[in-house]
Chains A and B, each alone.
Chain A
Amino acid sequence: AQTVTQSQPEMSVQEAETVTLSCTYDTSESDYYLFWYKQPPSRQMILVIRQEAYKQQNATENRFSVNFQKAAKSFSLKISDSQLGDAAMYFCAYKVLGGATNKLIFGTGTLLAVQP
């Protein structure tokens, strides 16, 4: 069964500094997607970044980038130049390509605090 593990329940970072959130997953599939979603206090789930497993190049979106290690089944999120608005719960999620349900499997989340 596919599982997603986020081993850091809480993290803290100083404004303007860099922080890395960890995510590991377990799957026997070779083609899949990985996502990071942000959930601020408003509860809205916001897509931060996605990575296709067939792509070796790590995805980047402005200040957000990932370190995708397929062999190690690791998918960490790096936030550079942290801002107060980055404070939120971050969820890592996995989806197999072509699955009938398009089902997302979520980790338990990492609560990120940004200190001014």
Chain B
Amino acid sequence: NAGVTQTPKFRVLKTGQSMTLLCAQDMNHEYMYWYRQDPGMGLRLIHYSVGEGTTAKGEVPDGYNVSRLKKQNFLLGLESAAPSQTSVYFCASSYNVMSRDGDTQYFGPGTRLTVL
């Protein structure tokens, strides 16, 4: 049981390049999330998904796109990277939120992205 995994762990991009971050979970969770973490700030929600084939915007969605083609995978894309997107990116997943026991989010190890 790997939990939540993220690929890659580190990446350096040049301004204008594109890339995709992959998040995978093996816990059969319905909900998945992408957060970014910047110095001096807590995690902020970029996009989220409430189930396979669905996505929605979070707090800071600009410059990012996501897809949830399979229940276990949640992809975060940067079409044209900018230095402001230098950050640590975390993926998380959780069960159906309507269950009182199902709201806890489990996080991946993070991806450190640097945009030059």
Contacts and interface: CB of A to CB of B under 8 A. Distances in A.
Q: Do A and B come from one complex?
A: yes
Interface of A: 4, 33, 35, 37, 42-47, 50, 52, 91, 93, 95, 97-109
Contact of B98 (A52, A98, A106, A108): A98
Given A44-B107, A44-B110, A47-B104, A103 B98 contact: no
Contacts of B12: none
Contact of B48 (A44, A103, A108): A103
Interface of B: 31, 33, 40-45, 48, 50, 56, 58-59, 88, 90, 92, 94, 97-98, 100, 103-107, 109-110, 112
Contacts of B107: 37, 44-46
Contact of A44 (B94, B100, B109, B112): B109
A99 B41 CA distance: 23
B104 A50 contact: yes
B72 to A, nearest CB: 18
A75 to B, nearest CB: 14
Contacts of A108: 40-42
Contacts of A105: 42
B109 A104 contact: no
Nearest to B41: A108
Given A4-B42, A50-B104, 6 more contacts: A33-B103, A44-B109, A44-B110, A103-B33, A104-B43, A104-B45
